[in-house]
Amino acid sequence: MSDIEADLKTMIVEILGLEDVRPEEIGSEENLFDDSGLALDSIDALELGVSIQKKYGIKIDPQDKSINEHFKSVRSLADFIRKGS
């Protein structure tokens, strides 16, 4: 697991206040937004996006048609950050 993935897992737990989840319990390929994964919602995505922009200094364009793919999992988010920063 990369440092970015570990940071993202910690960020997800802390920023979203997931009291029942520890960062190490989140799988890097786990779907973040459906019921088989963490079941995050659009508000969670917004909060996470703002935090990622602040921490990594990248621009997230909500009109980007591939944004859902970038936010699909911790691994896809880490790849997006690596490409954008």
pLDDT tens digits for 4-50?
A: 999 999 999 999 999 999 999 999 999 999 888 899 999 999 999 99
Residue 1 has pLDDT above 80, yes or no: no
Ramachandran assignment for 57, one of left (phi > 0), alpha (psi -120 to 50 degrees), beta (any other): left
Instruction: Give the CATH number for residue 74.
Output: 1.10.1200.10
Radius of gyration of the chain (CA): 12
Half-sphere exposure of 6 (CA within 13 A, CB side): 3
- At residue 56 the predicted structure's pLDDT band, cuts being 50, 70 and 90, is very high
Residue 37: predicted pLDDT? 84
Q: Are 36 and 28 in contact (CB under 8 A)?
A: no
Q: Work out how many domains the chain is built from and give that number.
A: 1
Does position 77 have pLDDT exceeding 90, yes or no?
Answer: yes
Domain span holding position 11: 3-84
